[in-house]
Amino acid sequence: MNKWMIYGATGYSGQLIVEQAVAQGLNPVLAGRSEEKVKTLAAQYNLPFQVFSIDELAKDHGLLADMFLVLNCAGPFSQTAAIMMEACLYQKSHYLDITGEIDVFELAASLDKTAQNAGVVLCPGVGFDVIPTDCVASQLKQMMPDATQLTLGFDSRSGFSPGTAKTSVEALPYGGKVRENGVIKHVPLAFKTRKIDFGGGEKLAMTIPWGDVSTAYHNTKIPNIEVYIPASLGLVKKMKRMNFLRPILGWRWIQNIIKNKIEKKVKGPSESTRQALTTHVWGEVKNEAGDVKTLRILTSNGYELTAQGSVHIAAAMLTGVNRSGYQTPAMLMGADLVNKLPGTSKLD
């Protein structure tokens, strides 16, 4: 079996992924920056380990020597993805991560030719961000090849892990994002609202800068893309007011204060909470003639799906890869990828 690494293995999602990998009989190398935490986790599963920081990797790409594949679980990915991708390209190691950050997806897409020349796959977003929505987008494109508008959304109560919460805080100063005529456009928070039936009844929803603003375009080439989540009227008003504070929220010392509070207070949902939750995923396409098609699926909660999806893709790649370059999950594994994961069912 090819040698592979889970970096950021001791984080909330990283630990779930390690547990899933071991349950499937895989033996990844566990890695991270905290020697004590990495050693303890590796001993728990009797797995090999390495200890290094992203800064150390930036100076020594040899830390990934002999790795066929690296699954990066260390967020915020704005601080880890670029260095890890560079090292993977240098070592000719395939790169996966569980980000939902648009800038990371766009970075990977910009490295497509470099990755092709190296024979390397760059596939960020192999978790809840963005497997379900990417697959829905791909299936909708098959249903309506001439679609010009793609709208996606999900209704999830999975809660935040520390890494996800920090990523959300980093994104606040930059507002929202949509894609118009093939170009990513910066827009205010809660830019648009509409009523959507995600699968459990109609709800008010608002736009968010979800990863599909990037990935779904590279996957489907549909030029206009928006992503929505449910939001109360009060939350919509709060987000709109926050637009006036966005410049302040970008100040480093304010970011550090908020992130330190997250580190102390946010622990991520318990196993019992995760098991009790499901996620409704919805998508809609429209063409120039005004025809509309919709698709709804039900999946497990975001963190379970992240563990299942990332390990499913890693395991498939370990048996052989016939692709290279930038890939979204559905481009790499097919539009039915999400249907192969436990807890997924088609609603209509």
pLDDT in tens, 10-36: 999 999 999 999 999 999 999 999 999
pLDDT over threshold 70, residue 265: no
CA 18 to chain centre: 17
Q: Which domains does the chain have, with CATH numbers?
A: 4-127+304-333 (3.40.50.720), 131-301 (3.30.360.10)
pLDDT in tens, 44-55: 999 999 999 999
Distances (CA, A) of 8 to 63, 124, 292: 14, 15, 42
E strands along the chain, which residues? Answer: 4-7, 29-32, 49-51, 69-72, 94-97, 121-123, 149-155, 176-180, 183-187, 193-197, 202-207, 224-230, 278-286, 292-300, 325-326, 345-346
pLDDT in tens, 317-343: 999 878 999 999 999 999 999 999 998
Mean of pLDDT over the chain: 91
Burial of 243 (0-12, 13-18, 19+ CB in 10 A): middle
Place of tokens 């196993």: 271
pLDDT in tens, 69-118: 999 999 889 999 999 999 999 999 999 999 999 999 999 999 999 999 99
pLDDT over 90, % of the chain: 73
Dihedral sign from CA coordinates of 237, 243, 248, 250: positive
What pLDDT, on a 0 to 100 scale, did the predictor assign at position 126?
Answer: 97
